[in-house]
Structure 1
Amino acid sequence: MSIGTTIYLQVNARIDSNNSRYLPAETSKSLGPNGLGTTQFYDRHGQLEKEISETAD
């Protein structure tokens, strides 16, 4: 990874709590050059359900 590069990852499905089926939902993750990672979970209607920020430490 280069200095100053931010990486964005995105998926459009997740597995339900019983691990039996995929549900339409969007998850995105950004990894910043300073080590900050932010993950956002959206429901099937596009509403933000949860956001998690974590550092590389």
Structure 2
Amino acid sequence: MIASSRDLKSLVAVLVRQATIGPLNRSVPFFFDVLEWFRASGSGWQTRMNAALAD
């Protein structure tokens, strides 16, 4: 199952509410399909994921 943009926006909203300022070294459980969706976008996927979470 591939996550829809609506699912990703919901995930982002939850994570932003729980976020703190600045980078942290934490483990965050993501669904496999969410990670695969970002990884499939190629080089820089972590930066794009971070931008989506911060949006």
TM-score when normalising by structure 1: 0.23
More strand by share: 1
Instruction: Considering fraction of residues, name the structure with more helix.
Output: 2
For the pair shown, which has the larger CA radius of gyration, 1 or 2?
1
TM-score (norm 2): 0.23
